[in-house]
Amino acid sequence: MESVKDRKLTAIHLRASLVERLRVEARRENLSLNSLVETLLQDALDRKPNPETLAAIEEARRGEYAGTLDVSSFDAFMKSVNAID
């Protein structure tokens, strides 16, 4: 984490129940509430899909058809999943 000098005081409004959940989690992780919230926000911003997922997202946006899944039985489902590759 950055030093205290790099921080900016910010006020946000959260539901009381969410703040309580965050406090409990911070206590459990032996962190301050501020450190927990900062870590959670940074993790959320840093989370990026892997290349395969990004490619699938782009295919879907272009309207490309990925195939059909057969959910009539587990065996049929597995065969249809393997056929998509």
Element (H, E) at 66: none
Tens of pLDDT, residue by residue over 9-19, are 999 999 999 99
Element (H, E) at 40: helix 33-46
DSSP conformational letter for 19: H
Token digits of residue 6? 């790099």
Q: What is this structure's pTM?
A: 0.57
For the cut 70, the answer to whether the pLDDT of residue 2 exceeds it is no
| Distances 40 to 17, 37, 44 between C-alpha atoms, Å | 17, 5, 6
